[in-house]
Amino acid sequence: MKDQSTSAARMEFDDAIQVATDSNSSPNDLSSHINKSFELNRLIAAHPNATAAILSEVIEYRDQEFDRCDDQTQRIAIRHPSISKEDVLRLADKFPEDLFMNPSIDLIVSEHPHLFEDNYLLLQTRGCPLDVLQRIAAEGTRAEQASIAGNPSLPVDLQNRLTPDYFYQRDLEALKQIASQQEDDVIRDCVDMYANVSRPFCVPRFLPFDRDSPEQRLSDQIFCGFPFTSAEFPWPIEKLGNHMQPIAQINLAKASSLLGVNLGSGLMQVWGGIESGTKVELQTRVIPESALKHDLDWFYPQRTPWLDKSYEFEGCAHSSIDVTDFHPFSVDCCRIDWHLAGRMFYPSIYTRVFDSLADDRLEHGLFDRYIDINCQLEPTEDELDSACISRHRSFQGAWGKRPLVILGGYPEALGNAWAAYPENMLFYHSIDYGVMMTVGVTYQVNRDGKICFDVNWTCDK
């Protein structure tokens, strides 16, 4: 009896597959087979006769075991010319590349003239319409222009205009104007001090990743990739016996060139433990340039909780970061190219003025007016926020970048994980999903001239 039931179910499934793959199937035919499985929904979402109503249903379908929607079905659906306006708006941030593959993209853009306003992920995605890029370059906000500057399909003439120096000079001009508006000479000096210190910083531009490519195994990766491993440098194992999560792989020679510092050569890798708790095991290692010529190890762990689309895994680079305004968390898109975005200022004037490294504060007698200055700086901070200066508060505020990933710059420290706002920050990642998680990699030069790297993780629950 059980065999007969299984056989009948198989025949029913085969019939559904035939309907879903028959180009002549009507919308009614397709509707009778939706939401029976992810496999069927993917076929139905790609069917030329699927209606907006059908697409909406398969997009929202959740499986019973994991209670989650199917990313692949959603990616197929957003490419369909019949997708509704509401579903476009709902999925555009999550699958921007797929949206631009929709044959009706010109119509979608015309019907949604404000689709790209403050939508930084869309603006920096390959395939963004040329007229949108040109309009933003001419009249966009500071944050919008910074976003298209990182777009790999930006025309050469706009690349030559929206350079890192363009944004830096724009920041300096805004700071100069803010300083001139201060009635108090000491507060004006504080703004000048703030403007005098900045560091180059880069943001990631995500690229497709072929895990079978030996060349791409050596590429820069973040969050979940397939980094370089070999017999000499195998996949790290934490103390509890689990294979660790790959968090970052950074080419030090390229990072040195971008940040204007000597970080050596080879690949710097960051790995995190997968056991949750208040103390997460972290490792850094540098693979020398000479070792990169050795044969690759193609082992990849079977247990990879960092790839689970849930909130249950609490590693230091969280799997639930496929949230609005960031690239989906996937091995297939973990390869990155660092885009030099300009120069980054301190997170706030207060930390610049009263940082223990700020020796020039003595020139202005700032300690004598500590309390007074502290009260007066907050309105000035608001002015900097309005001007969208290149700093941490702007990125996580006006620019809406949550989570945040930066190479170099002055990212904001969390807790006492590292010295506040150091000159030697290399890599920074933070995410706030109700719990703030932060990973920071710093470097220093020892007495013997050797460059050492240190990684810290904090979790503010």
Give per-residue burial for 351-364: e unless 16+ CB within 10 Å, then b. bbbbbeebeebeeb
Which of 331 and 204 is assigned the larger pLDDT?
204
The model's pLDDT over 366-403, given as tens digits with 9 standing for 90+, comes to 555 655 676 778 788 888 888 888 888 777 554 445 55
Look at residue 345 in the predicted model and tell me its pLDDT: 92
Q: Give the three-class secondary structure for 246.
A: strand
Angle formed by the axes of helices 130-139 and 142-149, to 10°?
140
Record the pTM. Answer: 0.79
Q: Give the span between the Cα atoms of 345 and 171, in whole angstroms.
A: 9
Q: Please check the confidence at residue 122 and state whether its pLDDT lies above 90.
A: no
Query: Domain limits of the chain?
Result: 13-115, 197-345+389-461
pLDDT at 460 over 80: no
pLDDT at residue number 324: 42
Which pLDDT band holds residue 204 (cuts at 50, 70, 90)?
confident
What is the per-residue pLDDT for 80?
96
What tens digit of pLDDT does each residue of 245-281 get? Answer: 999 999 999 999 999 999 999 999 999 888 765 567 8
Q: Provide the percentage of residues in the chain whose pLDDT is more than 90.
A: 42
182: left (phi over 0), alpha (psi -120 to 50) or beta: beta
* pLDDT tier for residue 322 given thresholds of 50, 70 and 90: very low
Band (362; pLDDT cuts 50, 70, 90):
very low
Average pLDDT over residues 429-456: 80
pLDDT surpassing 80 at residue 282: yes
Angstrom CA distances, 167 to 102, 310, 319, 384, stand at: 33, 38, 32, 15
φ, ψ for residue 384, nearest 5 deg: -65, -35
pLDDT at 164 over 90: yes
Least confident of 293-302, 308-317, 336-345, 450-459: 308-317
Res. 137: pLDDT tops 90: yes
Q: How far apart are CA 423 and CA 46, in angstroms?
A: 51
Is the pLDDT at 158 greater than 90? The verdict is yes
The pLDDT tens digits for 9-57 are 677 888 889 999 999 999 999 999 999 899 999 999 999 999 999 999 9
> Above 70 in pLDDT, residue 87?
yes
Q: What is the mean pLDDT of the chain?
A: 83
366/455 Cα distance (integer angstroms): 34
